[in-house]
Amino acid sequence: MTFVDGPVRVRVPATSANLGPGFDTLGLALDLRDELEAEVIADGLLVEVSGYGAGQVPLDERHLVVRAMRATFDRLGKQPTGLRLTCKNVIPHARGLGSSSAAIVAGVWLARELVAGGRLLLDEAALLDLAAQLEGHPDNVAPALLGGFVISGQDADGSFWAVPAGVDPRISAVVFVPSSPVSTEAARGLLPAEVPHADAAANAGRTALLVAALSGRPEELLRATEDRLHQSYRRSAMPESLALVEALRADGVPAVISGAGPTVLAFADGPDSAATEALLARCPQGWGGLALAVSDTGAVSA
């Protein structure tokens, strides 16, 4: 196995998982992308980070992209003598927009591209499996890798699967990003071990409806994004986010907690529409508001 000369680059989208009822199964790629570059060098490890995480994330073997690259090189059978990695991060960290999944997908992608013939050794299915193993679940890594709207899960034998589904071109998103983070671990720790059967049944129906709503029935998005399994249990970690979701939904806006939060995602009818502008005007003081298109593509070489 040999490594390629010169740097390789990748752009990876932000993602929003769950989308209300689709807990740990649904994810959507958004048009906001981190850009990364990697190169094999003679020896050592050089990591540079700008944007989100600069001055906060480790710049050594603990860096999540580096860890994902190392796991991929192990899968391919050879570690390089040295690595240089540059990350330009625009996806907010610990806000429920898939920053860790973007890092993992970037790492496995870059490592594969640094190996001559890497795409023959690791296809998209193998990349998805490795990325999902590193993340622990596929709902964010699948759309980060494949783009668009993806339904994903894990079989009893431990293997992961992902099936892309269509998104009506009229649908876009507005995200409201709080200034303070919430860790995924903390948000998951608030979830009960068991939920009422009626709530599980309601979410199953809403999840199925959401697939139809996103693919061509956007008028059903408000009903389809109703959740009973996870959002309300997380209120103590993100009370302002839940209050915004409830206020938007009361006004007929299909709004949800994005991933593990605390970002709020509201579905809209195009990033340049008057309705989108009206939504952005409801961004709480001190938060960031972004109108984002759905990204049809996942990770791509830059």
What is the rounded CA–CA span in Å between residue 99 and residue 117?
28
pLDDT given at position 186: 81
How is the chain classified by DSSP, letter by letter? --BPSS-EEEEEEEEEEETTTEEEEEEEEEEEEEEEEEEE-SSEEEEEEEETTTTTS-SSTTSHHHHHHHHHHHHHT---SEEEEEEEE-SPTTSSS-HHHHHHHHHHHHHHHHBTTHHHHS-HHHHHHHHHHHHSSSTTHHHHHH-SEEEEEE-TTS-EEEEEE---TT-EEEEEE-SS---HHHHHHTS-S---HHHHHHHHHHHHHHHHHHHH-GGGHHHHT--SSSTGGGGGG-HHHHHHHHHHHHTT--EEE-TTSS-EEEEES-TTSHHHHHHHTTPPTTSEEEEEEBPS--SEE-
Q: Which pTM does this prediction carry?
A: 0.95
First vs last Cα of the chain: how many Å apart?
24
Residue 137: φ, ψ to 5°: -160, 155
Q: Which of 120, 91, 88 has the alpha carbon at shortest distance from 10?
A: 88
Q: Report strand pairing: 149-154 vs 264-268.
A: unpaired
Q: Which two tokens stand for residue 138?
A: 């596929």
pLDDT given at position 183: 83
Residue spans per domain, the chain: 8-164, 172-293
β-partners of residue 174 are: 266, 291
| CATH class of the domain defined by 8-164 | alpha beta
- What type of residue sits at position 114? L
pLDDT given at position 187: 81
Q: Report strand pairing: 44-51 vs 82-89.
A: parallel
Q: What residues are designated binding site for ATP?
A: 92-102
pLDDT given at position 269: 83
Query: Are the folds of 8-164 and 172-293 the same?
Result: no
pLDDT along the chain (302 residues), means of 10: 93 98 96 98 97 95 98 96 98 96 98 96 94 95 98 94 95 95 84 90 96 96 96 93 97 96 92 85 96 96 87
pLDDT given at position 272: 72
How far from 219 is each of 144, 207, 208, CA to CA, in Å?
26, 15, 15
Q: What residues are designated binding site?
A: 92-102
CATH of domain 172-293: 3.30.70.890
